Amino acid sequence: MRMNLTRKIIEEHLVSGSMKPGEEIQIRIDQTLTQDATGTMACLQWEAMDLPRVKTELSVSYVDHNTLQMGFRNADDHRYLRTVAARYGMVFSPPGTGICHQLHLENFAAPGKTLIGSDSHTPTAGGLGSLAMGAGGLSVALSMAGEPYSLYMPEVIKVYLDGSLAGHAGAKDIILHILMKLSVKGGTGKVLEYTGPGVADLSVPERATIANMGAELGATTSLFPADEITRNFLSSMQRISDFRELGPDQDAVYDEELYVDLSMIEPMAARPHMPDLGVPVRDLAGTGVDQVAIGSCTNSSYADLKITARILEGRKISRNTDLLISPGSKQVLKMLAEEGMLTSLLDSGARILECACGPCIGMGGSPVSGGVSARTFNRNFEGRSGTQDAGVYLVSPVTAAHIALEGAFSSPEKWGEPMPRPELPPRVPSIREQFIFPEDVDAREIYRGPNIVPLPDFEPLPDKLELPVVIKCGDNISTDHILPGGAQVTAFRSNIPAISRYIFSRLDPEFVSRAQQAGQGLILGGDNYGQGSSREHAALAPRYLGIRVVLVKSFARIHRANLVNFGILPLVLSDIRDYHRLEQGMFIRFNSADLIPGAESALEVKGLGEISVRNDLTRADLEIIKYGGLLNLVREKKKEDA
């Protein structure tokens, strides 16, 4: 078989399994990344394994999410992460250095390497040919321990890019166009592999923007070839030794194909409250905008902010609109400053924020009540901005800059001559001295603040269960719906008892008290349950509240894996009509001892009779759940090996 690039990299790292779509495989992981919102828990899980050093080629601990240090909690978490990194051999990126995905692209990602990260936008590194996937923190901790990563062999979609971008269109408009075509669940169980002559029209940062938002498709990852453009990028970053030319074989075989003519792409926007609700920007002309935010791991590169500065140069933003700009890294900020572009941004009236995630996760920069915000981010879920009733649109930096000037959406025909897309200079300033690299010392003291609470112990799955339906949710429930972001909640990421009080708090304020009263229960959900962030707390905290089963129409990939890791049984309705028959408060009985991996089972619903459900569990998955979670199983195996 003539191999596509995805299969080539997987074959090179394959530990076990068959590369047949849908079959479980295990692959060797070269690199890991964690960030502070998920990394603190991942490090607590790593410590529970009691190993002396990480076993990957590279593991980086980034601090980029919880940088609003209100009170001691976030500061304590950062000190904990710094000392854990020193003790166990991880690279540490201090707060303010930049956003993990932008930093990893600039400093560490390499063609052909496998990377998993405890953040759903880890696929950003696919922009330079790395097979990069988001995962739960426990999966990342296991990879740091040298364990292979388990996943289902994905199908591979060939995304054939033809032509060249024209006018005011950019990379963000390409991925918004693809999202509109495929939907937020169109990439589930698949890798999007980009090929065709149009690939050569895109720089590595532009490719990274597209790969980043492949997460919004539900894709396992997205992948670009490593070509001459990749070589030039790595050379600019003073990392030419990391280059390796990689691409698919001529006439490689794919499972599906999507054709995109870049010359037909126009400026796009995703309407509230879903990334796939795409519409041409011209259709929104006249819509007033209260706030514009440019940044995030999707659009905070040097090229993104330089073209923004060029558009704003010598002009003032609308007096009715706030403009927030978050550079992706100190490297980006230094380059803008050296070229005088920072002055253009400041003089326009823009606010320059820290090199961090910031408003993207509701960490400051929330819109006014009932306001409209246009953002260059990757998600616009209801309430994610920190303002529950705000309407958030997703746009490119070019569109965002013009909105900031006008105070409203306008037709691109009125924007004047398009600015040329910026290119990196041959050599960019390095910021590697900002990272703290591990020394050959393994006796460093680890500092733990009072908010860093040990992991709770979870009991095994009982053979017989009688569970109330504690909540009934609709379709496309995201991990933001399950566990909100923002400064107030995110500060408790290392404290499961405390953070559990916020589960479903924006969707159903009575959920927590109802779950506590029930003692144990079942969550009923619709399609694509658990989409969005990789935050494993959206599984771990419900488990702490007694949730033993999640029954849905379909699952998002990472969340389903997180449920298994923490001993929650993920089941799928065989007949989606049963979703409409089931209601909150009903009791469901079944015998978990009768579960067979991949088979259908009957559940008895009090007052309704039997319904049929199925699972896609492997024997290993079922063993994890029956032990009460993966950590329980790992501890048990260690006892047996002792």
- Position 261 confidence tier, pLDDT thresholds 50, 70, 90: very high
Does residue 69 have a pLDDT over 80?
no
- List beta partners, residue 552: 572
Q: Of 103, 59, 89, whose CA–CA distance to 239 is shortest?
A: 103
Identify the weakest region by mean pLDDT among 397-411, 444-458, 578-592. Answer: 444-458
Half-sphere exposure in the Cβ direction for 233 (13 Å, CA): 32
Three-state SS letters, 397-460 = HHHHHHHHHHCECCCHHHCCCCCCCCCCCCCCCCCHHHCECCCCCCCCCCCCCCCCCCCCCCCC
Identify the weakest region by mean pLDDT among 202-216, 238-252, 443-457. Answer: 443-457
- Residues 6 or more apart whose CB falls under 8 angstroms from that of 80 comprise 40, 43, 446, 447, 448, 449, 452, 494
Question: How confident is the model over 560-584, as a mean pLDDT?
Answer: 95
Q: Angle CA(109)–CA(111)–CA(115) in degrees, nearest 5?
A: 50
Considering the segment(s) 5-15+24-242 as one domain, its CATH architecture is: 2-Layer Sandwich (3.30)
Does residue 224 have a pLDDT over 60?
yes
Instruction: Check residue 163 and give its pLDDT.
Output: 97
Residue 584, Cβ neighbours under 10 Å: how many? Answer: 14
Top CATH class of 279-413 equals alpha beta
Instruction: Check residue 240 and give its pLDDT.
Output: 97
d(CA 101, CA 534): 14
Are the C-beta atoms of residues 95 and 434 closer than 8 Å to each other? Answer: no
- Position 616 confidence tier, pLDDT thresholds 50, 70, 90: very high
Are the C-beta atoms of residues 570 and 443 closer than 8 Å to each other? Answer: no
Question: How confident is the model over 151-167, as a mean pLDDT?
Answer: 97
Instruction: Check residue 443 and give its pLDDT.
Output: 64
Percent of the chain with pLDDT over 70: 98
Domain with CATH 3.30.499.10 in the chain: 5-15+24-242, 279-413
Domain with CATH 3.20.19.10 in the chain: 464-641
Question: How confident is the model over 241-270, as a mean pLDDT?
Answer: 97
d(CA 412, CA 285): 9
- Position 641 confidence tier, pLDDT thresholds 50, 70, 90: low
Are the C-beta atoms of residues 347 and 445 closer than 8 Å to each other? Answer: no
Instruction: Check residue 586 and give its pLDDT.
Output: 96
Instruction: Check residue 441 and give its pLDDT.
Output: 58
Are the C-beta atoms of residues 7 and 52 closer than 8 Å to each other? Answer: no
Which tokens go with 208? 């990274």
d(CA 529, CA 642): 40
* Residue-wise pLDDT tens digits, 547-569: 999 999 999 998 999 999 999 99
What integer best gives the mean pLDDT of the chain?
Answer: 94
* Residue-wise pLDDT tens digits, 24-48: 999 999 999 999 988 898 998 898 8
Half-sphere exposure in the Cβ direction for 558 (13 Å, CA): 34
Does residue 634 have a pLDDT over 90?
no
Superfamily of domain 464-641: Aconitase, domain 4 (3.20.19.10)
* Residue-wise pLDDT tens digits, 293-312: 999 999 999 999 999 999 99
Which tokens go with 364? 């400051």
Percent of the chain with pLDDT over 90: 84
Identify the weakest region by mean pLDDT among 276-280, 493-497, 624-628. Answer: 493-497
- Residues 6 or more apart whose CB falls under 8 angstroms from that of 262 comprise 161, 162, 163, 164, 165, 166, 169, 174, 198, 201
Phi-psi region of 335 (alpha: psi -120 to 50; beta: other; left: phi over 0): alpha
| Cα distances (Å, whole numbers) of residue 313 to 289, 396, 484 | 21, 18, 37
Q: What does the longest C-alpha to C-alpha distance in the chain come to?
A: 72
Sheet of 91-93, strand order? 91-93, 58-62, 31-35, 114-117, 131-134
Instruction: Check residue 622 and give its pLDDT.
Output: 93
Identify the weakest region by mean pLDDT among 185-199, 428-442, 459-473, 540-554. Answer: 428-442
Half-sphere exposure in the Cβ direction for 173 (13 Å, CA): 26
* Residue-wise pLDDT tens digits, 485-523: 887 888 888 899 999 999 999 999 999 999 999 999 999
* Residue-wise pLDDT tens digits, 226-250: 999 999 999 999 999 999 999 999 9
* Residue-wise pLDDT tens digits, 326-379: 999 999 999 999 999 999 999 999 999 999 999 998 888 999 999 999 999 999
Question: How confident is the model over 190-215, as a mean pLDDT?
Answer: 98
- List beta partners, residue 573: 613
* Residue-wise pLDDT tens digits, 282-293: 999 999 999 999
Q: Of 24, 10, 49, 222, whose CA–CA distance to 133 is shortest?
A: 222
- Position 67 confidence tier, pLDDT thresholds 50, 70, 90: confident
Does residue 116 have a pLDDT over 60?
yes
Instruction: Check residue 642 and give its pLDDT.
Output: 55
